[in-house]
């Protein structure tokens, strides 16, 4: 069963509260999402393996640690996941970036795929899927299924806010995928929006409403 990691560092909570405020404009919303994504990925990658290397400092030769093992790939779910890319790549500049385009049909709430392009060597990478909102879980679950169909099986899911329904769905459909969230909210409303949530992440990020 996938583990759920709640990354509720005080800085993350503070920034997320500003994002939730409906008066916060697109510029500040974008900046905060980037900052929180950077803080989150620090924890998401806490268990990455390291290996001992020899380094010559100006003083002496010493043994020290560097990352080893699989390289990282990040996969934002379009559109809103794009807002998390910059924060993650600031900490992991060598990460390759794939994109999955999905939108949620407003009537059926079912995910509709319109784009999928992953790095050529994705199956050899640790993939971090990014999307600020995990509501019904339909979009994230479909994105993970597409990734698995391309023979990639080392996957982590990172969301800003999750609803219990979305978490349960990922745990049911992708029990091998750990979930990292800044907050787990109360529920979904009748339109499939997270309550209290922050509204429509894509629209707030890109100022489209
Ligand atoms: C939002 C969000 C997730 C999805 C979550 O995207 O960014 O991808 O909804 O809902 P779910 O868990 O019920 O699938 P949306 O479909 O609004 O597309 P957008 O990012 O292009 O605005
Ligand atoms: N997508 C969003 O952007 N917000 C929600 O609350 C649910 C789905």
Given the CA of residue 200, which atom of ligand 2 is nearest to it?
3
Given the CA of residue 192, which atom of ligand 2 is nearest to it?
7
- pTM, two decimals, is 0.96
The CA–CA distances, whole Å, from 65 to 48, 53, 125, 203 equal 12, 6, 20, 42
User: Which residue among 30, 96, 104, 156 is the active-site one?
Assistant: 104
In a 10 Å sphere around its CB, with 0-12 CB exposed, 13-18 middle and 19+ buried, how is residue 109 labelled? middle
In a 10 Å sphere around its CB, with 0-12 CB exposed, 13-18 middle and 19+ buried, how is residue 71 labelled? middle
CA-nearest residue, atom 2 of ligand 2? 200
User: Which residue among 62, 64, 108, 145 is the active-site one?
Assistant: 108
pLDDT tens series, the chain, 209 aa: 889 999 999 999 999 999 999 999 999 999 999 999 999 999 999 999 999 999 999 999 999 999 998 899 999 999 999 999 999 999 999 999 999 998 888 888 888 889 999 999 999 999 999 999 999 999 999 999 999 999 999 999 999 999 999 999 999 999 999 999 999 999 999 999 999 999 999 999 999 98
């Amino acid at each position: 069963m996938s583990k759920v990691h709640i990354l509720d560092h005080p800085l993350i909570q503070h920034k997320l509260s500003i994002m939730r405020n409906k008066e916060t404009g697109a510029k500040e919303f974008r900046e905060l999402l980037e900052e929180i994504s950077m803080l989150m990925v620090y924890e998401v990658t806490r268990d990455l393996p390291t290996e001992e290397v020899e380094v010559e400092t100006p003083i002496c030769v010493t043994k020290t640690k560097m990352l080893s093992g699989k390289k990282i790939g990040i996969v934002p779910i379009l559109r809103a996941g794009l807002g998390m890319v910059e924060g993650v790549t600031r900490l992991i500049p060598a990460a390759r970036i794939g994109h999955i385009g999905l939108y949620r049909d407003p009537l059926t709430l079912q995910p509709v795929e319109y784009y999928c392009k992953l790095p050529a060597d994705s199956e050899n990478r640790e993939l971090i899927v990014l999307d600020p909102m995990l509501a019904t879980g339909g979009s994230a679950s479909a994105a993970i299924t597409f990734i698995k169909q391309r023979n990639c099986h080392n996957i982590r899911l990172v969301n800003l806010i999750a609803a219990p329904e979305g978490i349960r769905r990922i745990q049911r459909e992708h029990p091998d995928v750990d979930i990292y969230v800044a907050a787990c909210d109360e529920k979904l409303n009748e339109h499939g929006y997270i309550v209290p949530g922050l509204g429509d992440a894509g629209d707030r990020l890109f100022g489209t409403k």
